Structure 1
């Protein structure tokens, strides 16, 4: 083999080794991130100054707020009081009282935690007051306000109020759909055409109404009393394990009214199922 060919093969081997090393490093980084070891990365950032420290703490607490808010909504659905209590009770456990900072020699002072949760057309708003003072080597930051918005999971967009025949709008988790089998005009209580509907789905929300259990979407929109000119098929798939405490034949689809805090129940719910899901469907003319 010529010297030139040997050099080429040597370079190819070096490139292969570098590529393999890069892949291994990427895999290691993914594993570190997936196992929640980003704290170690943030610890390094904390040495860079107060600006980095502030942004890191802001990110850390906001992620905990997001995590507990999503969990609270899944457990309690539209019940703002219990969602609030859930977040309030779990936020400090999520942050672990900043022990990972204490281990790095930081001094931590925490104030009284308070929380405001509200609904509007943008989603679920959470405003957390969590006073924290972090100090080390003469450097100190004070931070106390954190916010997160849990946005709607499904949006029905119209063409000047109309939805074409055959259109299907599916939630971002693929479990809920609105199916339009005919061209349909959507109007609000003032007989005005509706440009869009933003809806958050409460698959895991079950509220006993007498002898029935209700599940369904929660409408987040400043538009109330929506009417459809033709029936719309609403389908909700619920994982079998979620309903293991309930008889699926007792479940009906409902729509929550955030202004009255009442559920409107659709009694014509049809039940189907496959290996993994109970599939509930109904036709609606209004919300």
Structure 2
């Protein structure tokens, strides 16, 4: 059994800003539903889509400038609840996150699926580097747009650190997309070298003379780390995906065909062929 976990918020943005999208009010939603149906046409059976029902989350209480949706295209933002309803109508499992984020639901889903002995592979479909922390064992990350796959070695090659160190890396270098800055002077190369050698913030030697990771300006970087230690721990906590979201069991993610509302939703999206595709898939799975 293979499980597909989809970053619905990323997919909505991707579809909205696609050069092929000529309908800014409905095109992104239409594209996300079509994209999920395409997964089924490629053989996927268990598909769950995590979405940010609202952009703000508990992390906004942790850091004042954490992402809050400011500047998001209103036509795109208006489709957040629409895409959830559309996906449900077409029979997909949807996790609309409010207190937590879509990333947390994906992390929780990956943990549940990986623990199921029937599952051979868990695919997290997103290019988001944050989700690299969930990769390993059965869990892979898939950038659908570029068709790039990442196992644990792939994450290390991409980010310079193993999956378990991704939150530590983000603590040092920050994440501009999420609105926290990291520590002054720490860049991806220096942070990657130190963390690839030592693993976690707590394991970095307090004496920079003991650093043997080939990092320039070790003394200066170490001073910054020690002076901003509590901030680094806060940023790591912010960057750590939670795995306690309620996502149900693997069997509940099995796609069983479109619901009764699919035709009405497709009509509202001016996309009747979506229903035809879904019905063909459902009929084929009954054979």
TM band (smaller chain): under 0.3
* Greater fraction helix: 2
Highest CA radius of gyration, 1 or 2? 1
- Of structures 1 and 2, the one with the larger relative CO (CA 8 A, separation 6+) is 2
Q: What is the TM-score with the length of structure 2 in the denominator?
A: 0.26
* Greater fraction strand: 1
